[in-house]
Amino acid sequence: MGCASHGSILTNLNDLTMRQITFNAVQAFNNGRKFKSANTEVSIEGDMVSLYLHGNKIAERSPDGFYVTNAGWASNTTKERLNGLDGVSIYQKNWEWYLNDKQWNGGWYRIA
């Protein structure tokens, strides 16, 4: 019985921590470095840094600004990757997504 409780506590703690792949991708995105692991990639094209999930661009940073989108995929993984980025806070309430406390349809949005 104790093990079952212990397991659920560990699962809940793991949910609160950023996945290693997200951490590594965010580090690469912030530092303008290429990165690829499983379903996540950071690419560099000139002065633009882009973050991809399953081949869909979900964030880009260039001299024009820093933008995010869910690329039409309102998934927990998309939310988790985007939440790893500085200045991004996404949560879901009553099936609706909120980006930095404003209701958001997932379209491109300028963060900075």
In a domain, 73, yes or no: yes
13 belongs to a structural domain: no
Instruction: Quickly state the pLDDT bin for 6 (edges 50, 70, 90).
Output: very low
Region 66-90 average pLDDT? 96
Residue 3 in domain: no
DSSP assignment of 11-63: HHHHHHSPPHHHHHHHHHHHHT--EEETTEEEEEETTEEEEEETTEEEEEEET
Domain count across the chain? 1
Residue type, 31: N
Note whether residue 6 is domain-resident: no
Residue 43 lies in a domain: yes
Whether residue 81 is contained in a domain is answered as yes
Q: Write down the pLDDT at residue 85.
A: 97
In the predicted model, is pLDDT for residue 13 greater than 80? no
Contacts by residues 53-62 (CB-CB < 8 Å, ≥ 24 positions apart): 53/77, 53/78, 53/81, 58/82, 59/29, 59/85, 61/29
Q: What's residue 18's pLDDT?
A: 73
Q: Is residue 83 part of a domain?
A: yes
Range of the domain at 35: 20-110
Q: In this predicted model, which residue has the larger pLDDT, 1 or 73?
A: 73
Is residue 5 in some structural domain?
Answer: no
